[in-house]
Chains A and B, each alone.
Chain A
Amino acid sequence: MNANNLSGPQFDGMSCPVPLRDFNEIVMGHGGGGKLSSELIEHLFLPAFGNDHLNQLRDSAILDLGEQRLAFSTDSFVVRPLFFPGGNIGDMAINGTVNDLAMSGARPLYLSAGFIIEEGLRMESLHAIVKSMSLAARRAGVQIVTGDTKVVERGHGDGCFINTTGIGVVRSGLRIAPDQASPGDVVILSGTIGDHGMAIMSVREGLEFESQIFSDSAPLHELVERMLAVCPNIRTLRDPTRGGIATSLNEIATASNMGIEIDETTIPVNPCVQSACEILGLDPLFVANEGKLLAIVPSVASEAVLASMHQHEFGSNARVIGRVVDGHRKMVIAKTPYGSTRVITMQIGEQLPRIC
């Protein structure tokens, strides 16, 4: 550690956030969903806020209120550009929170919507965003029941930021959490990976690909309901957003203290997404999704769960991509088509395009 770091931030009274001392400032990677994000949570937020609910680090908290079990979740959306092939920040903000609730097995009911709008945003843009939020909410069967609007000076925002918070009800008997994965369980993926991340990148970076890539933004609660109907003891559900399926699988392996083994050849990737990733030197396993889920289910139920998913538009491409093993704990290992293996680690920060 050099002199520059020694004069870094002080966190008196909290557990020593040693890794955070490497940074005197927040960098983009702290929001990238990878290791730096986890460190911020582990060493700053948990010591400050920690409690039985938060410490479980689930997509949504499960609150037992007498007879009722509620799922409660929040998410902020800062996507640039605001409009992209396959969606915009509005429907993403609805689907994102709906999915966070659904990953606890909840039926989403009510959402809040908080807008931070930059001075100068075109009224027609805001109108279009709000309209798609309304459509997405109707499609997901949720109501926006409270909200807030703030406007910041030009240059202090990126057009429009949206926060949505949601609550839903969880029926009794469900116990869906990342620490529930057990040896022998299978890993199911609901469809192609990387579509959302590459759709955003293709417009953000002004890259012109021959065919357009569309975001997969979609609400997944109905799909989850069908899966739960045939298998109420689904162990884990995750929507692999930032950091892609690599990050979600690592989180599950860590939380359950199990190993996860995946077969690379079984993971569906849209050929346009694969090509775009190759051009930029990115790995689709780490690219964001907004309408996909990973499920860990007991192997005896895998056929039934798959069959239920195949009947739904957002699960038609679902397949088993791997299994949970009692070995290489907290690690995700991929089998290649060549008979070799590689370790899938978490990204440090954001995935950066390679030079050549």
Chain B
Amino acid sequence: MKYLTEFRNGEKARRLADEIRKRTTRNWAIMEVCGGQTHSIIRHGIDQIIPHEIELIHGPGCPVCVTPLEIIDKALEIAARPEVTFCSFGDMLRVPGSNRDLLGVKSTGGDIRIIYSPLDALRIARNEPDREVVFFAIGFETTAPANAMAVKLAKQHGVKNFSVLVSHVLVPPAIEAIMNSPTNRVQAFLAAGHVCSVMGFWQYPPLSIRYHVPIVVTGFEPLDILDGIRRAVIQLESGTAQVENAFDRVVTFDGNRLAQQVISEVFEVTDRSWRGIGMIPQSGWRLSQAYRNFDAETRFGVSGICTNESTLCRSGEVLQGAIKPHQCPAFGKQCTPRTPLGATMVSSEGACAAYFNYGRFLKAEVTA
């Protein structure tokens, strides 16, 4: 199967959009949870081809966007140390902390390296035993197995100069927090396909029942997303609320059991702050007791760093679907990808950056 051509077929996409149009009789607000889905929606202009009755609300599922300012400041502090080699996924490097970003630390001599797998960070630690190698372990359930595996292997092989700065977040508690919010407008969710490939979707039926909300496990290609929307609309129009798997070429009900095992060995559930949203109980992972030695916060004594978010930036409301990016007064003015106030403007998956890069001018023309 050729994913890049078959799941981007223009003709099939138009047919799906037609079907959605036929099925839609009134206004619906559907949230795509994952930043990767937002990116795909904006990049392929999917929001332009579905009926205007359907509002897509861009959810909090961009790991770069929801990592709290405080953690970024801790990362900056650690990365600036002369003995440290700081390893990170690429797009974390441009996320603004209180007064600079990791690229800024790099330009003043910090040893910061972009890696593609946490195992690369571990390899660097083993090859360069004189360096303190720190990996920035962020992300949702998707990146957790590999991050956990790196820590597990470090312990197994007695790699002493390796540690991780953990800021892992979890999808189901975020969905719950959104549904509990008094201002919530979301009527159906497209659940994040990649997260479910690891965790399965057994956590969702109770949520779907409790809040009477359709949840469709959805992939990332244009046809995946359109099919997810189609299924959500069919449920909404018929008044049903179930969990459906529209990404069954990847996702099973149980998920990847081996990956879940490694995660539960290395991590434990904890309360976690989300940038722009605030504290969500039991919504993250931290290192479990058995692996606490690998915690970079303790090793480098940065646990005390405490930072408040920008008051101008309303990314929290964007992430909760309360406002669209261009409805924030700072959007395109004080806050651009060039001078981001919040992380949603930094990451290419962030809702604000996606709007700015791919949609802003067109929207301005339409409204003008």
Residues of A within 8 A of B (CB): 2, 4, 19, 22-29, 35, 205-207, 265, 271, 274-275, 278, 280-281, 328, 331, 333, 336-343, 345, 348-349, 352-356
Q: How large is the interface on B (under 10, 10 to 19, 20 to 34, 35 or more residues)?
A: 35 or more
B218–chain A nearest beta-carbon distance, Å: 15
**Is B172's CB within 8 Å of the partner chain A?**
no
When the two chains form their complex, are residues A345 and B357 in contact, meaning their CB atoms are under 8 A apart? yes
Q: Using Cβ atoms and an 8 Å threshold, which residues of chain B touch A4?
A: 99-100
When the two chains form their complex, are residues B64 and A278 in contact, meaning their CB atoms are under 8 A apart? no
Given contacts A27-B104, A336-B45, A353-B114, contact A342 B358 (CB under 8 A): yes
When the two chains form their complex, are residues A342 and B42 in contact, meaning their CB atoms are under 8 A apart? yes
When the two chains form their complex, are residues B362 and A343 in contact, meaning their CB atoms are under 8 A apart? yes
A2–chain B nearest beta-carbon distance, Å: 6
Provide the bound-state CA to CA distance between A22 and B101, in Å.
Answer: 12
Provide a sorted-by-A list of 23 A–B residue pairs whose CB atoms are within 8 angstroms.
A2-B99, A29-B103, A206-B120, A274-B4, A278-B4, A280-B116, A281-B91, A328-B365, A337-B9, A337-B13, A338-B44, A338-B45, A339-B14, A343-B360, A345-B357, A348-B337, A349-B103, A354-B348, A355-B89, A355-B91, A355-B143, A356-B36, A356-B63
B90 in complex: contacting residue of A336, A339, A354, CB < 8 Å: A354
Provide the bound-state CA to CA distance between A171 and B11, in Å.
Answer: 48
When the two chains form their complex, are residues A340 and B44 in contact, meaning their CB atoms are under 8 A apart? yes
Provide the bound-state CA to CA distance between A113 and B326, in Å.
Answer: 50
B331–chain A nearest beta-carbon distance, Å: 15
When the two chains form their complex, are residues A25 and B36 in contact, meaning their CB atoms are under 8 A apart? no
Q: Using Cβ atoms and an 8 Å threshold, which residues of chain B touch A24?
A: 104
Given contacts A27-B104, A355-B143, A356-B142, contact A339 B49 (CB under 8 A): yes
A337 in complex: contacting residue of B10, B100, B338, CB < 8 Å: B10
Provide the bound-state CA to CA distance between A353 and B14, in Å.
Answer: 30
Q: Using Cβ atoms and an 8 Å threshold, which residues of chain A touch B99?
A: 2, 4
A189–chain B nearest beta-carbon distance, Å: 19
Q: Quick one: closest B residue to A352, CB to CB?
A: B90
Chain B 88-118 against A: per-residue CB contact (8 Å), 1 yes, 0 no?
Answer: 0111111000011001101110000010100
B87–chain A nearest beta-carbon distance, Å: 13
Q: Quick one: closest A residue to B142, CB to CB?
A: A356
Q: Using Cβ atoms and an 8 Å threshold, which residues of chain A touch B357?
A: 343, 345
**Is B51's CB within 8 Å of the partner chain A?**
no
B181–chain A nearest beta-carbon distance, Å: 26
When the two chains form their complex, are residues B63 and A343 in contact, meaning their CB atoms are under 8 A apart? no
Give 4 closest A-B pairs by Cβ, nearest first.
Answer: A340-B45, A337-B10, A352-B90, A340-B48
Chain B 200-242 against A: per-residue CB contact (8 Å), 1 yes, 0 no?
Answer: 0000000000000000000000100000000000000000000
Q: Using Cβ atoms and an 8 Å threshold, which residues of chain A touch B45?
A: 336, 338-342
Provide the bound-state CA to CA distance between A15 and B143, in Å.
Answer: 47
B48 in complex: contacting residue of A22, A23, A280, A341, CB < 8 Å: A341
Given contacts A25-B108, A342-B43, contact A207 B116 (CB under 8 A): yes
Q: Quick one: closest B residue to A207, CB to CB?
A: B116
Q: Quick one: closest B residue to A341, CB to CB?
A: B45
Provide the bound-state CA to CA distance between A280 and B362, in Å.
Answer: 28
When the two chains form their complex, are residues A348 and B338 in contact, meaning their CB atoms are under 8 A apart? yes
When the two chains form their complex, are residues A355 and B64 in contact, meaning their CB atoms are under 8 A apart? yes
Provide the bound-state CA to CA distance between A24 and B107, in Å.
Answer: 10
Provide the bound-state CA to CA distance between A60 and B108, in Å.
Answer: 33
Provide the bound-state CA to CA distance between A342 and B348, in Å.
Answer: 14
Q: Using Cβ atoms and an 8 Å threshold, which residues of chain B touch A342?
A: 42-45, 358-359
Q: Quick one: closest B residue to A279, CB to CB?
A: B116
Q: Using Cβ atoms and an 8 Å threshold, which residues of chain B touch A341?
A: 45, 48, 362
Provide the bound-state CA to CA distance between A35 and B338, in Å.
Answer: 8
Residue of B46, B93, B358 most packed against chain A (CB within 10 A): B358
When the two chains form their complex, are residues B44 and A336 in contact, meaning their CB atoms are under 8 A apart? yes
When the two chains form their complex, are residues B91 and A353 in contact, meaning their CB atoms are under 8 A apart? yes
B83–chain A nearest beta-carbon distance, Å: 18
B138 in complex: contacting residue of A271, A275, A328, A355, CB < 8 Å: A355
**Is B349's CB within 8 Å of the partner chain A?**
yes
When the two chains form their complex, are residues B4 and A275 in contact, meaning their CB atoms are under 8 A apart? yes
Provide the bound-state CA to CA distance between A170 and B107, in Å.
Answer: 41
Given contacts A341-B48, A356-B36, contact A205 B116 (CB under 8 A): yes
**Is B58's CB within 8 Å of the partner chain A?**
no
Provide the bound-state CA to CA distance between A274 and B349, in Å.
Answer: 19
Residue of B8, B47, B142, B360 most packed against chain A (CB within 10 A): B8
Given contacts A25-B104, A207-B116, contact A352 B94 (CB under 8 A): yes
**Is B284's CB within 8 Å of the partner chain A?**
no
Q: Using Cβ atoms and an 8 Å threshold, which residues of chain B touch A35?
A: 338
Chain B 131-153 against A: per-residue CB contact (8 Å), 1 yes, 0 no?
Answer: 00000001110110000000000
Q: Which B322-368 residues have C-beta < 8 A from chain A?
A: 337-339, 347-349, 356-362, 365
Chain B 31-53 against A: per-residue CB contact (8 Å), 1 yes, 0 no?
Answer: 00000100000111111110000
Q: Quick one: closest B residue to A342, CB to CB?
A: B358
When the two chains form their complex, are residues A352 and B359 in contact, meaning their CB atoms are under 8 A apart? no
**Is B286's CB within 8 Å of the partner chain A?**
no
Q: Using Cβ atoms and an 8 Å threshold, which residues of chain A touch B103?
A: 27-29, 349
A19–chain B nearest beta-carbon distance, Å: 8
A250–chain B nearest beta-carbon distance, Å: 12
**Is B194's CB within 8 Å of the partner chain A?**
yes
Q: Using Cβ atoms and an 8 Å threshold, which residues of chain B touch A281?
A: 91, 348
A25–chain B nearest beta-carbon distance, Å: 4
When the two chains form their complex, are residues A27 and B107 in contact, meaning their CB atoms are under 8 A apart? yes
Q: Using Cβ atoms and an 8 Å threshold, which residues of chain B touch A331?
A: 361
Given contacts A22-B339, A25-B107, A343-B362, contact A356 B13 (CB under 8 A): no
Provide the bound-state CA to CA distance between A19 and B347, in Å.
Answer: 21
Q: Quick one: closest A residue to B103, CB to CB?
A: A27
Known: A28-B106, A339-B14, A342-B42. 19 other contacts (CB 8 A): A2-B99, A25-B104, A28-B103, A281-B91, A328-B365, A336-B10, A338-B44, A340-B44, A340-B46, A343-B358, A343-B359, A345-B356, A354-B347, A354-B348, A355-B63, A355-B89, A355-B139, A355-B347, A356-B63
Provide the bound-state CA to CA distance between A35 and B356, in Å.
Answer: 15
Residue of B338, B339, B359 most packed against chain A (CB within 10 A): B338
